[in-house]
């Protein structure tokens, strides 16, 4: 079940780095993290980042490649098309592509959002859009935190732009994501326990609040403006 809170209208036109992620084809590769595992200390600990990237994300990539390898007609199909057309895939790999293809895309996006050194809050048009959509930046943070904290079991919380150009806060189960339904995610938070348990144990709300200290709003703003 998805928890969706509709909001603002936004025009989607230009290609962005998001499209580059969705345009990947077999064989898929584990992307470089882009910063040291300890770069987000003391907020996100180095050991969790290392395991999360080099073990969990790597496993999604390996499992996805193993599934696609057996079907040469899919070797040139972009990741986004695979995820948006799961019922058209061979039945024996649909679940594998959904879980591991979704996991690969979600994590590739997540690492970009965590680039160190960005501003602690959005500015410019993005801030105006968030204020217009949710009432204020603080109100947006509350809705996002609620979506993340109330996602039962494993999953993700998102700020995304839907097919009609509206900003939405939503949560998805497991490795599903807005991109599977034709939306464009611009903020995503992994709330699987592997993303936070070593440091936060069962305190997911604390992990969610810590996320604001490491989210790079310059990256989010770039994705937002690319959809204009």
- Write down the pLDDT at residue 14: 34
Residues 9 and 21 in one domain: no
Report the predicted TM-score, pTM, of the whole model to 2 decimal places. 0.91
pLDDT at 3 over 80: no
pLDDT at 33 over 80: yes
- Write down the pLDDT at residue 18: 74
Residues 215 and 125 in one domain: yes
pLDDT in tens, 166-190: 889 999 999 999 999 888 999 999 9
pLDDT at 228 over 70: no
Domain end among 57, 81, 113:
113
What's the angle, vertex CA 204, arms to CA 110 and CA 2, rounded to 5?
65
Residues 128 and 218 in one domain: yes
Number of domains in the chain: 2
Domain end among 93, 113, 133:
113
Residues 62 and 172 in one domain: no
Residues 165 and 103 in one domain: no
Lowest mean pLDDT among 17-21, 52-56, 92-96: 17-21
Q: Which CATH number belongs to the domain containing residue 87 in this structure?
A: 1.10.287.990
Residues 147 and 205 in one domain: yes
Of 69, 62, 56, 84, the closest CA to residue 190 belongs to: 56
Residues 135 and 98 in one domain: no
Question: Quick one: CA torsion of 100, 104, 109, 112, rounded to 10 degrees?
Answer: 150
pLDDT in tens, 6-19: 333 233 333 457 77
SS3 assignment, position 187: strand
Q: Are the CB atoms for 197 and 164 separated by under 8 Å? A: no
Residues 71 and 146 in one domain: no
Domain end among 71, 93, 113:
113
Domain that residue 205 falls in: 3-15+117-226
Q: Which CATH number belongs to the domain containing residue 168 in this structure?
A: 3.55.40.20
């Amino acid at each position: 079940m998805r928890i969706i809170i509709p909001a603002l209208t936004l025009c989607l036109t230009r290609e962005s780095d998001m499209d580059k992620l969705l345009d990947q084809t077999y064989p898929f590769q584990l992307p470089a993290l882009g910063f040291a595992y300890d770069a987000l200390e003391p907020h996100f600990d180095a050991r969790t980042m290392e395991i999360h990237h080099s073990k969990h994300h790597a496993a999604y990539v390996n499992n996805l490649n193993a599934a696609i390898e057996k079907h040469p007609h899919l070797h040139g199909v972009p990741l986004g098309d695979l995820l948006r057309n799961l019922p058209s895939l061979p039945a024996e790999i649909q679940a594998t592509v959904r879980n591991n293809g979704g996991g690969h895309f979600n994590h590739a996006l997540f690492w970009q959002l965590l680039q160190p050194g960005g501003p602690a809050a959005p500015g410019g048009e993005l801030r105006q859009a968030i204020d217009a959509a949710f009432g204020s930046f603080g109100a947006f943070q509350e809705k996002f935190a609620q979506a993340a904290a109330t996602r039962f079991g494993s999953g993700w919380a998102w700020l995304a732009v839907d097919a009609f150009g509206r900003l939405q806060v939503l949560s998805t189960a497991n490795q599903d994501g807005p991109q599977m339904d034709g939306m464009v995610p611009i903020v995503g938070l992994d709330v699987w326990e592997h993303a936070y348990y070593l440091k936060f144990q069962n305190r997911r709300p604390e992990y969610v609040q810590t996320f604001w200290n490491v989210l790079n709003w310059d990256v989010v703003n770039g994705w937002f403006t690319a959809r204009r």
